[in-house]
Amino acid sequence: MTIKKDTAMPRHPILVSLLCIGLAFAGCSQPVFVEESDGLPPDTPSEENRPSVPTDDTHTYDPLSWDGETEKFRIEDDGLIRLYDTSDQAGTACLATPLTTPDRTCWQLHVRLSFNPSANNHLRIYLMADSPDLTGNVDGYYLQVGGKEDRIYFYRQQGDALTLLCQTEAFMRGDSSPEVHIQVVRDSQGYFQLYVPETDAPAQPLAIIKDTAVSTASHCGIVCTYTASNSRKMRVPVFRIHHDVHDVEELESGQFHPSTPSD
């Protein structure tokens, strides 16, 4: 039997080989590159993963101009503040912004931590301070999120002297990723109303305290204290200030008492 040669065979075997190789690779998936995780969600979470933040468009919020150790933070266009100390060492980091007035002022805050807070890993939110150097001996008031008892603490600071005005229960105990909304309202008489709501619409203040030991302030801001492993694990998605605040009615003397300091 005579075998007839196929005269239709391509004249360029090299091209045929390259085509076959290309088809083989076309059936393979592309390599996936995974960015090293620092324990936090992405900087721009999807809508379903974005934290629930109370919104109220009826207020006019103060523009904030952050200064201080800005190299240790990332400040996003939507206002999110993220600790991002690339030295990966233990330390503190401070941001401050001018405060137009502490009278009839409302601070709306949202804090997210990716660790269980402790005495060496916590966040201070200065509501009032007489200096932008919040790590110094300022006069003012601040909230501390975390401590050795996993509470939120409200302090008055006068130089190097601290006075605990009130504190929450230890609701963050054992929580490796606490997230909390906080609202503080101060009227022109020196009454502070502290809200730590469990829902998006707080109704009753956790505490109402009158304290006029410090009545003036030029700045507010945040101070992060952290160990090396937590140098990128604090976020403040919301830090807003407005002045749509009314004075509260005078309360009976002694109706509210500060908690006993324990931290």
Residue carrying structure tokens 């050795």: 148
Rounded to two decimals, what is the model's pTM? 0.76
Whether 239 contacts 62, CB under 8 Å:
no
176 bridge partner residues: none
Q: What is the pLDDT of residue 30?
A: 32
Q: What is the pLDDT of residue 198?
A: 65
Concatenated DSSP letters for the chain? -PPPP-TTS-S-HHHHHHHHHHHHHHTSPPP---PPP-SS--SS--TTTSPP----TTSPPPP---EESGGGEEE-TTS-EEE--TT--SEEEEEEEE-S-STTEEEEEEEEESS--BTTBEEEEEEEESSS-TTSS-EEEEEEE--TT--EEEEEEETTEEEEEEE---TTTT-SS-EEEEEEEE-TTSEEEEE--SSSS--S-SEEEE--S----SEEEEEEEE-GGGTT-EEEEEEEEE----PPPPPPTTSS-PPPP--
Q: What is the pLDDT of residue 25?
A: 36
pLDDT tens track of the chain, all 263 residues?
433 444 444 444 443 444 443 434 334 333 322 233 344 444 433 333 434 445 556 899 999 999 999 999 999 988 999 999 999 899 999 999 999 999 999 999 999 999 999 999 999 999 999 999 999 999 999 999 999 899 999 999 999 999 999 999 999 998 999 999 999 999 999 999 999 876 555 567 889 999 999 999 999 999 999 999 999 999 999 999 999 999 987 655 544 444 444 44
Beta carbons within 10 angstroms of residue 14's beta carbon = 8
Backbone angles phi, psi at 95, to 5 degrees: -130, 140
Q: What is the pLDDT of residue 58?
A: 84
Q: What is the pLDDT of residue 67?
A: 96
Dig out the tokens for 151 from the structure: 């509470």
Whether 243 contacts 105, CB under 8 Å:
yes
CA 258 to chain centre: 26
